[in-house]
Amino acid sequence: MRSMRILGATLTALALTLGTGTASALTILDAGFGSPNGGASPRSQAMGSTGAALYQGSQGLFFNPATLMPETQWGAVDFTLGVSQANEDRLVPLWDSFNSYVDDTIVASNRNRYGTLNGGAILRLPSTAMALAVGVFDRYDFQYDYYEEFRNPSGTDPAADRDRIIELRTIGQDGTLRSLSAGYSAELFGRMKLGLAAHRYTGEPSREVRQVNYQTSTTTVTRVEQELDGWGWSLGGWGQPTERMDIGVSFEGAFSLDGSQSTLSSVTGSPDVTTAGNRSVDYPGTLRFGAAYHPRNRLRTTFVVEMERRFWESLDSPVTSVFGDTLQVQDTWDLRVGLEHVFYTNLPVRFGFRYLQNYADTESERAIYSAGVGYRAAGFAFDVTGLLHRQTSRQEFLFDPSYLSNYRAPGTTEKVEDTIVQLVVGVSRGF
């Protein structure tokens, strides 16, 4: 009974705490629908964001509900806190007076920090091979901040006027699409489990584009706010064909979100123009499958390989994004590999790699490298994970690039280098 009271109090704290969570970082290529998140727990993220074939705590609610069965008598709770440093550099080719390429030069550099908070709880039903779970998770992140200074490029103006700021240009996106998820898992036979989960999606993403021209004393602002609410579901299965091999597969159904949208257009010296209405936004279904292998070692080791397929092309084409933009999207693959090795001191060390395609750019992929450790004390499990995201792409200019006419070839796009460094810490407790 004491364990049940502790679990109830923890669930209440979970509901109160997670309501204040913030989003993590993304690239501008993910701005239309948000950046799809990987694993929620530090252990999962350290192992390449795997979890379809392996128990990784409450994140099984959306990864694979069949993996929700806890290893303890009553259940478990887990919380995860993460911080991210997002670095974006935009470069254009530099040409000499003979129209020969010299090098790429940076025209915009942005450094921003974000945070994330996830968590959930699992309860094993007494005297049964069944479990119930609930959790709150950041699913798609819209956070993005861009800052650009347009300075006087003329080399013949007086020194006092040279390099003067002519215009400030900014893009600010905010908001997260979260899911409040509840699920059920049952062990049908000794080596087979099934699970299902329901998700209540909610979010209020917004985007503001601002241009301040100091020559004309004009400020132009465009702001879009979109409410998102809707329901979704997940279904999964897990099996153990041999004592050293686990196989899992799950499907998260496509879901439709709707809500009110408001748009504000403001130009100095002119009346503001505001429009409002209701609209719906569709998200694709997701198939996850993978396998975990446990070698015959004296020290416990787990090797996991998983893949994820998002069916973006099933949406009506061309696709209208959350903010009303028209996009051409593609189905994406997400490859995940993870390794965990536990030493004699019961200290786990984990490594992972994740390779994922971008749904809005056929030429862009992201590579994520991860490593982490765990520690147990006083019945709690503490985990720490570090991640490095790297992505290089060619993108259209976000603002009018005419001021670069002397420095770029006609039709040139920007080379964009995205680097994200994350630190994720988590605590879990079994009862």
User: Beta partners for 279?
Assistant: 259
Widest CA span in the chain: 84
Residue 1 confidence (pLDDT): 41
Instruction: Please state whether 379 falls in left (phi above 0), alpha (psi between -120 and 50) or beta.
Output: left
Q: Whole domain around residue 201: which residue ranges?
A: 2-290+386-430
User: Beta partners for 199?
Assistant: 181, 232
Residue 348 confidence (pLDDT): 95
Residue 157 confidence (pLDDT): 56
Residue 50 belongs to a domain: yes
Residue 19 confidence (pLDDT): 35
| DSSP helix/strand/coil, 11 | helix
User: Beta partners for 384?
Assistant: 373, 425
Distances (CA, A) of 423 to 80, 81, 113, 348: 11, 9, 11, 17
Residue 152 belongs to a domain: yes
Residue 70 belongs to a domain: yes
Residue 8 confidence (pLDDT): 41
Residue 22 belongs to a domain: yes
Residue 6 confidence (pLDDT): 37
Residue 362 belongs to a domain: no
Show the low-confidence residues of the chain (pLDDT under 70): 1-25, 153-160, 162, 403-411
Residue 214 belongs to a domain: yes
Residue 407 confidence (pLDDT): 53
Residue 363 belongs to a domain: no
Closest CA to 38 of 368, 268, 259, 292: 368
Total domain count, the chain: 1
Residue 278 confidence (pLDDT): 94
Residue 353 confidence (pLDDT): 98
DSSP string, 29-59: GGTTT-EEP--SSHHHHHTTS--SSS-BTBT
Task: Identify whether the C-beta of residue 17 lies closer than 8 Å to the C-beta of residue 9.
Answer: no
Residue 139 confidence (pLDDT): 95
CATH number at residue 276: 2.40.160
Residue 306 belongs to a domain: no
